[in-house]
Amino acid sequence: MDSFHSVLTLFEQNQSFAISTHVNPDGDAIGSELALFSVLKKLGKNVRIFNTDLVPKKYQFLPKWEAIENAEASVNFSPEILLVVDASSHERIGPFLKKCLIPTHATVNIDHHTTAEEFGDYNIIIPTASSTAEIIYKLFESADIEIDEACAVCLYTGLMFDTGCFRYSNSDSETHRIAANLIECGNFAPDEIYRYVYEHVSLEKIRLLGQTLNTLELTPDGKIAWVLITQAMFNETKTTFDDVEGFVNQIQAIENVEVAICVCELPDGNSKISLRSEGSVDVAELAAEFNGGGHQRASGCRINLPYTSAISTLVESAIRHIKTI
């Protein structure tokens, strides 16, 4: 690929690099940053990583995670090259970094989101790739760059996270082949990585999940299921909106459920919605009715209504979508 070649040439011809990613970084974001970091370090480059948000606890097993610095630390660093990974848009690295982290030579944007903007001087955007980690793997592979153990662990974590542990439809034979190669290069046990990422759930979150499941309701035919999380539930369990991650998938997993809806009461009394579909209903279309967006099987929107009205409006809409299939 031409864009691979241009970016590899930048690696050769420049000495100082900064790396960043989106706010609230996930496994793919952090794994991709650290994989680039380890390879550039090995090439003898001056390289630093700056993120708006801290590394979540569950990713604090990744090799060299401590190297990730906060946004303010970037003020006296003027890199030749800025590498932005998995971000969708320049804004998503956070306002401070967008304003202050300016490379003297070029910005490189590496991403796999279908909505990714071409904000870089160089853009490697591959929407068919499962993850940014997969793109970085292919970038290294194309130049015969050695993927050492640290790099392999980071890329595997990105791949695993963005494919939902190889459960989503973005996971195919190629994703599995890459995963197998990474396991061989990295000499690690995949189950150990799984445990780090998914089995460090806080007790508070489990209590919130318990309360959330108590609110479960279904349409009489069992095809639409929804749960509700109120501000009172957050307060009582000492949790925040971040802890809701993954709940809607549990509802989607119920037998016969075609559309799963998770409604969250916002501090201002309005509602934030996550939607999942097993495939028959396009929940991106459903979300679009409320100015939201996403993918066919996973989407979200905000509805400026209290949760009771938001739920009835959404369920009615979902019923219409199921009828038109």
Give the strand order in the sheet containing 293-294. 217-218, 224-229, 259-265, 271-277, 298-303, 293-294
Interaction pattern, residues 184-203, with Mn ion; x per rule: CB under 5 A:
--------------------
CB of 27 to Mn ion, least distance (A): 8
User: Nearest-CA neighbor of 247 among 190, 204, 208?
Assistant: 208
Per CB under 5 A, contacts with Mn ion among 116-145 are 131-132
Q: b vs e for 222-254, b when ≥16 Cβ sit within 10 Å of the residue's Cβ?
A: ebbbbbbbeeebbeebebeeebbeebbebbbee
Q: What angle do CA 312, 316, 318 make, to 5 degrees?
A: 115
243 binds Mn ion (CB under 5 A): no
CB of 219 to Mn ion, least distance (A): 33
214 conformational bin, left if phi > 0, alpha if psi -120 to 50, beta if neither: alpha
Which helix (H) or strand (E) covers residue 47, if one does? strand 46-51
Residue count, binding to Mn ion (CB under 5 A): 5
Q: Which stretch binds Mn ion (CB under 5 A): 1-9, 80-88, 141-149, 312-320?
A: 80-88
Q: b vs e for 28-50, b when ≥16 Cβ sit within 10 Å of the residue's Cβ?
A: bbbbbbbbbbbbbeeeebebbbb
CB of 144 to Mn ion, least distance (A): 25
CB of 22 to Mn ion, least distance (A): 9
Q: Which residue is nearest to Mn ion (CB)?
A: 28
Q: Which of 33, 134, 162, 265 binds Mn ion (CB under 5 A)?
A: 162
User: Nearest-CA neighbor of 257 among 218, 297, 215, 301?
Assistant: 218
CB of 281 to Mn ion, least distance (A): 24
Q: Which stretch binds Mn ion (CB under 5 A): 39-47, 86-94, 182-190, 211-219?
A: 86-94
86 binds Mn ion (CB under 5 A): yes
CB of 51 to Mn ion, least distance (A): 15
Q: What are the Cα distances from residue 133, in Å, to 74, 85, 137, 245, 246? A: 24, 9, 6, 21, 21
Closer residue to Mn ion in complex, CB, 132/299: 132
Closer residue to Mn ion in complex, CB, 134/265: 134
Which helix (H) or strand (E) covers residue 191, if one does? helix 190-198
Which helix (H) or strand (E) covers residue 194, if one does? helix 190-198
Per CB under 5 A, contacts with Mn ion among 22-41 are 28
CB of 221 to Mn ion, least distance (A): 35
Closer residue to Mn ion in complex, CB, 126/322: 126
Closer residue to Mn ion in complex, CB, 152/160: 160
Q: Which stretch binds Mn ion (CB under 5 A): 12-20, 44-52, 82-90, 137-145?
A: 82-90
Residues near Mn ion (CB under 5 A) are 28, 86, 131-132, 162
